[in-house]
Each structure stands twice: as C-alpha cells, then as structure tokens.
Amino acid sequence: MDERAYVFLDPDGSQGAGLVVIVQAPTGVVYASQVGGYANEEREVEGFAIPLFNPHHLNVLKLFFGGYSGNPIYPGTSYERWQERDLQALAEIIGRIPLWQTNRDKDEPASLEFDSARLQELTEGWIPILTPYGPGILTHQNCD
C-alpha cells in the first residue's frame, strides 16, 4: 500500500491553478497534473509545492505553448522535436520568473532556470527547472 499523500492539481480544470513550482524532494507528498496539450497526459512528482501568484508569467507561457496549437512536441504530431530557437525562448521566459529563496533568517531574490538536461520531460504544463532549492517541475494549466 502506497502511504504517500497524493494531490492532483486542479483535477476538473475549473480552478486555474496558475503556476506552481514543485521542488523534487522526498516529502511523502506526490503532486499530479494533466499536461501535454491535447495529449492529455497525466504526470506526477514527489516534492513540495510553491505557488507563484503573478498571472503575467502564466500568460506568457500560455502564449508560448499556444503556438503549438495544443500539440506540443510529442511523437506522432507535426512537432516531433524541439527547435533550438524555441528552447532558447522558453529558457528566457523561465529565467524571468522570480522565486525567492527563503529561510528563517533571511529572504533572497532568485529566479528559475530551465533544465535543458531533462529535455525529454518537457511538454506543455510540465517544464523541468532548477530552483534555489534543487531540481523541480514548473506546472501550469494545460492550454487544451
């Protein structure tokens, strides 16, 4: 029996969960989300979630992935591999998203970084990133 807590972000798609960073860590809590545009794939990762409250960054990501008409890179679609210019644009978008590194003594501004070493994980609504806390996933509401 799996004892881990399971949280599906925005299960019926009506809440618009916004941007959520899930820092990968052995917390006993698994977060899941529907991703991949029209592929309607479900993915999950264990860690802790940090909600991001600025809707501007969500809108920019929706515009980026909207260019794939609901069919981001996926075998069998017209977009079967990422173009370098698209990866660079995505890295720039991700690099402008702030995520403060906080502890009980001080708070420091930081930002996210696109993790191109995990490119095979990248799809709409599921972006591999590096955070001040370690590797993670940036999730957002799927555009389908």
Domain-by-domain residue ranges, the chain? 5-139
CA 17 vs CA 45, 72, 77, 142: distances in Å? 16, 20, 27, 10
Q: How many CB atoms neighbour CB 35 within 10 A?
A: 24
Lowest mean pLDDT among 18-32, 64-78, 119-133: 64-78
Q: How many CB atoms neighbour CB 113 within 10 A?
A: 17
More confident residue, 10 or 97: 97
pTM: 0.86
Tens of pLDDT, residue by residue over 86-127, are: 899 999 999 999 999 998 999 999 999 999 999 888 888 899
Place of tokens 């998203």: 97
